[in-house]
Structure 1
Amino acid sequence: MADVFPFRGYRYNPEKVDDLNNVVTQPYDKINAELQAEYYEKSPYNIVRLILGKEENRYQSAAEKLDNWLNNNVLIRDEEAGFYLYTQEYVVEGKKFVRRGFIGLGKLESGEGVKAHENTMEGPKADRLNLIRATEANFGHIFMLYADEKNEINNLFTEIMQNEPLIEVSDEDHNLHKVWHITDPKIVDQVSSKMKDKNLYIADGHHRYQTALNFQYECKEKGWKADGVESFNNRLMTFINMDDPGLKVLPTHRLLYGIENFNLESFLERAAEDFGIYDFNNKEELYDFLDDNKEKTVFGFKAAEEGTYRGFEFKNEDILEEIQGDFSKEYAELDVSILHKLILEKYLGIDEKALAAKTNLDYIRYRDQALKALAEKDYQAAFILNSTSVKEVKEIADLGEKMPQKSTDFYPKLLTGLVINKLSIKK
């Protein structure tokens, strides 16, 4: 059961910030040092100064800046509670898609109430917990999926989308983000009612969700009370229908580095025991191989030291039991499971500890960029993957299991700074 609530969000005041393109950002975990510097240059009010500041005492600095922006009406609160329709127009492989969702507050549920599909790491959770302790605010969204085959909830928004949006911005990839404020009581009630029987699945924001639960626990331990829906019991979320044709999951490719005594010939010999290996003259032939075999477990492979492109097709079903371990058959059959447990760990010695320490693997979104990085930087090899499906995400989450790191890329990301939730707490 999903409890979702309309709320009075905080937004940038157009009288103080005339171009929202200069103040919104990618989620904090997608911001590297270069992008952070770019955001700082764009505006003294860029949200990066709150979510990922440069200061040594950045959590306290974020709290002080937030208070200053609120007191000086840089951020203003909407007068009416409502949901916020959020659409994203984007292009993948030359095709245009429109993804629809709505922003609201979702009730925090521990245990099986909300289903996750990825593991979390302690470092990011500690970082986000320090930020919410200091600011008592939700800046970034949690990307939540729900199932609605008839598209009943999205259909409620069709007429609203004909109106001028409240917010319209573009991101670094030229994707168009639009937001409308939904205050019609009838539509608000229908959305809340139709969401009641839905299960929620975290698509993106696992660390933020766990952090919200940890903060909720801290508040209750201190005897603090929630003051209305905009409190520590609920969290800022964007809800997206997993049956929406505008929802796409992109693969995340792997770049190998720092493997001592990496020997291509012996690696290929070992791989040939479990995979059919095909040679291609160029990347286009490799891409065709991947695109034509999406129902099979296949990978693209390119070593930096040679010009040949290779396709791997998994053949050894007998080894699945070894990969499975304590997990389900569905988990063992995932492309990313076979890549991580067999190729990376068994063949190359990159175990979970090494993955957590980020000592041998980098991740990159587009396959062209992966191959370009392989040619230009100090990488040893690239592994090119097909996408994990939304169906697989749901299956693994329903089984209570967690996929390997970077198994999914729900593109485009939800921008930070469109709508903010300031927590109301009685201490």
Structure 2
Amino acid sequence: MTSTDGLRLLPFRGLRYAPDRVSSLTAVTSPPYDVVVRPDGVRHLETADPYNIVRLILPHAADPATRHRQAADTLTRWRAEGVLTQDDRPALYVYEQRSGEVLQRGLIGALRLDGPVLPHEGVIPEVVEDRAALMRAAAANFEPLLLSYRGQGIATGATAVIERTVLGDPLLSTTTEDGFAHRLWAVTDPADLAAVNDDLSHRQALIADGHHRWATYQRLYEQLPDATSSSPWASGLVLLVDTARYPLQVRAIHRVLPHLPPAKALAGLSGAFRVRALSGGLSTALETLERTPGNAFVLTGGPDTFHLLDRPDPELLDRTIRKDRPDTWRQLDATVLHATLLDSVWHIPDRPSDISYLHHTEAAVEQAARHGGTAVLMRATSEEAVRQLALQGVTMPRKSTSFGPKPATGLVLRTLEDDRP
């Protein structure tokens, strides 16, 4: 699809839970599919309410085709039963998340795929194929990905529409288990929609979270035999946030190597890094990691033993890290981890069965202990560093950084067949 100069966020008729058909909105929502810890997290969500959205985003069956068909059939059944109902009018949705001093507001809509959207990470082809098969079977976008853009930081254009809309009564409000309060409003006024369109028409977006979903949208559109720019498949569900107004939180994504025991991981270093045992618990280890200069990681196989890796051998770095990238990229912790440690020192295959990516530190430590493997605890990369590399067309190693707060899944869905012009 040919790129355009700006973003175009299209209204759609949202599909939402009927409050009187579920135990609570909290009980039917979920974190994004790639944040849910499997299988324990899936089981927890499934037992929260029989209509929890996890049954659509992470169905489980013996084979992929059965899983995807199961999700599609479940969606059809829930609509027929009135559990999910469609809004009468196309809308953009103002979405607010609040917890303590953290406040994030943005717009949920169907973003045209031909706009200037900057990725900053690579994707795993197998994950894209699985997500594409699920979306194709269900003809739905179940969860918005998170995009950021740099507005003026003041209440003009799209931001003015958001600030004005939140003064009214929301369509829904709920508080999820992580303590975040969520509210949603519909924007249907033609003047407001025009103001948003005009403001975004000269903006570009950075993918903060959801590279696989964006790649999935693109893959599905490319695979259409008669794709046109007016097709609902020419756009995808997103949450768009002006980070000049509402800065994102940035956190690390940790690695778990289930088939690499900690003793073997440490023995394999043989001078490649300085290795120091750390006293104290997890919080102390993370504090030490944060204040360590240069490239550094914490290795652990469970809640009682932590080692700090720092001061990598300069000759090893020079030999293992590609030289055709900017220095900023070459010095990233994620670059050093993948190119030097995983590829060259430990020889870990780049496969989902050999490397797991976990957003929550405690979950990473627990999973490593359960498998007898090693967790590599990471630090976050700043949003500005990510943006500058993306502007240069340089992608970071996948799962380098986690932006948030992430939108809750299940508050508003988009069905493709009902979204035709």
State the TM-score bracket (shorter-chain normalisation): 0.7 to 0.9
Retained in 2: the 8 A contact 1:255–1:379?
no
Letter in 1 for 2:295: T
Specify whether residues 70 and 405 from structure 1 end up closer, same or farther in structure 2 by C-alpha distance, changes over 3 A only.
same
CA contact (8 A) 1:89 1:176 kept: yes
- Specify the SS of the correspondent of 2:376: strand
1:324 corresponding residue in structure 2: 322
Q: Give the length in aligned residue pairs.
A: 408
State the distance in 2 between where 1:264 and 1:26 align. 32
Aligned pairs for 1:151-162 (under 5 A) are 151-152=154-155, 153-162=158-167
Question: 1:198 and 1:386 mapped to 2: Cα distance?
Answer: 29
Quickly say closer, same or farther: Cα 1:286–1:155, change in 2 above 3 A.
farther
**Structure-2 separation of matches of 1:7 and 1:301:** 46
Q: Residue in 1 aligned with 2:291?
A: 292
Secondary structure of residue in 2 paired with 1:240:
strand
Q: What is the Cα deviation at residue 332 of structure 1?
A: 0.8
Q: Name the residue aligned to 2:149.
A: 146
**Residue of 82, 85, 96 corresponding to 2:91:** 82
Shift of 1:264: 6.5
User: In structure 2, what is the Cα distance between the partners aligned to 1:261 and 1:176?
Assistant: 39
Match in the other structure for 2:3: none
Shift of 1:194: 0.9
1:49 equivalenced with 2:47 (yes/no): no
| Structure 1, unpaired ranges of 5+ | none
Structure 1's 187 and 364: CA in aligned 2 closer, same or farther, altered over 3 A? Answer: same
Q: CA deviation at 1:196?
A: 0.9
1:324 and 1:332 in contact (8 A); partners too: yes
Q: Which shifted more, 403-412 or 307-316?
A: 307-316
Which range moves more in the overlay, 331-340 or 167-176? 167-176
Contact 1:289/1:311, CA 8 A, preserved across alignment: no
Q: CA deviation at 1:124?
A: 1.9
Query: Alignment partner for residue 69 of structure 2, among 55, 60, 64?
Result: 60
Alignment partner, residue 336 of structure 2: 338
Aligned to 1:365: 359
TM-score, structure 2 length as denominator? 0.84
Contact 2:221 2:227 in 1 (8 A): no
Tell me the CA shift for residue 343 of structure 1: 2.5
Is the alpha carbon distance of 1:310 and 1:141 closer, same or farther for their aligned partners in structure 2, counting shifts above 3 Å?
same
Aligned-pair CA distance for 1:106: 0.4
Equivalent residues of 1:22, 1:39 under 8 A apart:
yes
Structure 1 residue 261, shift from structure 2 partner: 9.9
Q: Assess, with a 3 A threshold, how the Cα gap between structure 1 residues 412 and 297 changes in structure 2: closer, same or farther.
A: same
Among 27, 38, 45, the alignment partner of 1:39 is 45
- The answer as to 2:208 corresponding to 1:203 is yes
Change (3 A) 1:74 1:333: same
Contact 1:301 1:312 in 2 (8 A): no
Which 5+ residue runs of structure 2 have no aligned equivalent?
1-5
Q: Label 1:143 to 1:308 Cα distance change in 2 as closer, same or farther (>3 A).
A: closer
**How far off its partner does 1:355 sit?**
2.5
1:270 maps to a residue whose letter is: G
Counterpart residue number, 2:184: 179
- The answer to whether the aligner puts 1:400 opposite 2:399 as a matched pair is no
Deviation sequence 1:369-402 (CA, Å, 0-9, x none): 545655x434454433221111122122222232
- Residues 1:341 and 1:82: Cα distance change in structure 2 (over 3 Å): same
Structure 2 letter corresponding to 1:40: E
Q: What secondary structure, in the 3-state scheme, does the structure 2 residue paired with 1:236 have?
A: strand
Quote the Cα distance in structure 1 between the aligned partners of 2:86 and 2:9: 19
Does the CA-based 8 Å contact 1:139-1:417 persist in structure 2? yes
Provide the TM-score with structure 1 as the length reference: 0.83
Aligned to 1:347: 345
Give me the identity figure in percent.
27
Residue 410 of structure 1 aligns with which residue? 403
Distance 1:190 1:303 in 2: 53
Off by >6 Å, runs of 4+ in structure 1: 303-306
CA contact (8 A) 1:100 1:246 kept: no
Q: Distance in 2 between matches of 1:371 and 1:54?
A: 25
Name the structure 2 match of 1:356.
Answer: 351
Determine whether 1:115 maps to 2:118: yes
